[in-house]
Amino acid sequence: MASRNQVLGLYKQIIKNANRFNDYNFRQYFLRKARTEFRANKDVADAKVLDALISDAQKDLGVLKRQSIISQLYTFDKLVVEPLPKEK
């Protein structure tokens, strides 16, 4: 059975890797997907179901890591909806 700290650590890793995407649309999609998936499954109490969900999330994290690295190889123009860098 996974502990709360393991689940939170997995969530933080997914958010961290989702933020590495250069493309705004991909970045927002993966952030939104992570939030909705973890919120939808926050009340799961069955150990087998929880272990299966964590296993799936770890596989998704592996894919997310690989894709974020690939995303960093390509440059994209900033979109209008993206915030501008703060001036000092």
pLDDT in tens, 11-29: 999 999 999 998 889 999 9
pLDDT of 52: 93
Model pLDDT for residues 16-66, shown as the tens digit of each residue: 999 999 888 999 999 999 999 999 998 988 889 999 999 999 999 999 999
CB 45 within 8 A of CB 7: no
Please, what is the average pLDDT of the chain? Answer: 89
The pLDDT, as a whole number, for residue 29 is 95
**Residue 88: is its pLDDT beyond 90?**
no
CA dist., res. 45 & res. 23, Å (int): 36
Burial of 64 (0-12, 13-18, 19+ CB in 10 A): buried
Separation between Cα atoms, residue 80 and residue 22, nearest integer Å: 14
Q: Where are the alpha helices (DSSP H) in the chain?
A: 4-18, 24-40, 47-72
- Does the pLDDT of residue 10 top 80, yes or no? yes
